[in-house]
Structure 1
Amino acid sequence: MDAIQLPKSWNVDQIIEDLDQHGFTVIDNAYPLNYVHALVKECTANLKLFRDAAIQSGVVSQIRSDHILWINDELKIAQQHIETLTALSQDLNRNFYLGIKEVEAHFACYNAGEYYALHRDNPQKKNDRVISTVYYLHEDWQEDWGGELHLQDKNEQWHIIQPKPNRIALFQSDLLHEVIQAKHQRLSITAWLRSGQNLF
């Protein structure tokens, strides 16, 4: 199998520098538009299979109200995104010695009124999520539609990241963040680069 090549828009040196200095980075124009169209089509075709993310093992959480669909081998288009993140993981491992071994991911749908309150993806380093990523795959977005990522960087500075189409937000999983209430359907892929150890 040929090695996955990162898209030209993924400036690895900039990604590494941003993560080192701030704990997060943003990649715009992440993929060619033909891939974006195919991915949106795959996502929307499966919306009926999404489940309420707030229900875990029968327990309802008050922290979130979005809907998700875990990505498996049958979702061929989304798998290409996971393969690209796996390739990026090799660069992150070389630079930060993270020991990332796998990527897990799900589609996420925030309908109007839905949100995800302040949280950390790896609180007190209790799991093996090292890097979190959100890829915004809707094809149109307006600033007054909400759904922004509100993120505190490693220097305790707060940032608002707009969910612009074809944008990836990538950040340390132990950083505090939230998804502000959406006013319009917002589609994305959330993925975590996982390791047996956290060394940031």
Structure 2
Amino acid sequence: MEDFLNAIDRHGWGSLPGCVGEGDSLRLKGECVDASERGEFKRAGVGRGLNLEVREDIRRDQVMWLQPGEGMAGTDSYLAMLEVLRLALNQRFFLGLFAFEGHFAIYPEGAFYKAHLDRHAGTSDRIVTAILYLNQDWQPGDGGELKLWTTPEGRDGAFVLIEPRMGTLVCFLAGDFWHEVLPATKVRMSITGWFRQR
């Protein structure tokens, strides 16, 4: 975890393969699949409040927001791990993070999310993005990479491609890093969320 925090300190982002073990990752994936089969996912939109709308030209994923204490052991365990990370981020960077909000995300085959920032215009509450991938046996060529631009030039600058391999955690400053989800050749699952300030 120290190397992960050092990476965030130096670059504003970090990637930690194997952050969540295979057993816990499979439990989370199972909860994601079960909820989807129960019809609990909704088409993801863009914007917020009254301006929220489904835009298939921008994103094509489906989401289900996390609700702590709903009897999903994997989800509750992961949220407890994120609480430890929240405290570590506050201790290291004095960010004043007070809560986490997040959702399961399912990208059907061929789905994508065009380049965007995670902080809505005119807001300042989302500070750190955290993404955990739940894709077992992901292979080069399966697509679905996170394309993360890593320089102040944004979409005109350098970028990294991060494969959505099971158990990998990615964090970055929500208002600073443009990113997109590239189309995949098979279903892609994750938990995406944000540590927030008041």
User: Percent sequence identity over matched residues?
Assistant: 30
Query: Aligned-pair distance for 1:127?
Result: 3.2
SS of the counterpart of 1:21?
Answer: helix
Cα RMSD, aligned residues only: 1.8
1:131 maps to 2:128: yes
Give the match's secondary structure for 1:65. coil
Partner deviation per Cα, 1:33-55 (whole Å, 9 max, x = no partner): 22122111111111131110037
Q: Which of 172, 176, 195 is equivalent to 1:193?
A: 195
Q: TM-score normalised to the size of structure 2? A: 0.86
Query: Partner residue of 1:17?
Result: 6
- Quick check: 186-195 or 59-68, which moved more? 59-68
- Residue of structure 1 equivalent to 2:168: 167
Shift of 1:187: 0.6
SS at match of 1:15: helix
**Which structure 2 residue ranges, 5 or more long, are not aligned?**
none
How many residues are aligned here? 185
Moved more, 59-68 or 165-174: 59-68
Q: For the residues of structure 2 that align with 1:178 and 1:141, how far apart are their CA atoms?
A: 18
Q: 1:59-107: per-residue Cα shift (whole Å, max 9, x none)?
A: 3223211000111131331122122111111111111110000011100
The residue aligned with 2:34 is 45
Deviation digits for residues 107-155 of structure 1 (CA, Å, limit 9, x no counterpart): 0000111100000001556231111011111222112111100001255
State the distance in 2 between where 1:127 and 1:110 align: 27
Mark the runs of 5 or more structure 1 residues left unpaired by the alignment.
1-10
Say whether 1:69 aligns with 2:71: no
**CA apart distance, 1:30:** 1.5
Q: Does the 8 Å CA contact 1:27/1:169 hold for their aligned counterparts?
A: yes
CA distance in 2, matches of 1:39, 1:167: 13
| TM-score (normalised: structure 1) | 0.85
Contact 1:71–1:79 (Cα < 8 Å) also in 2 = no
CA distance in 2 between counterparts of 1:125 and 1:134 reads 23
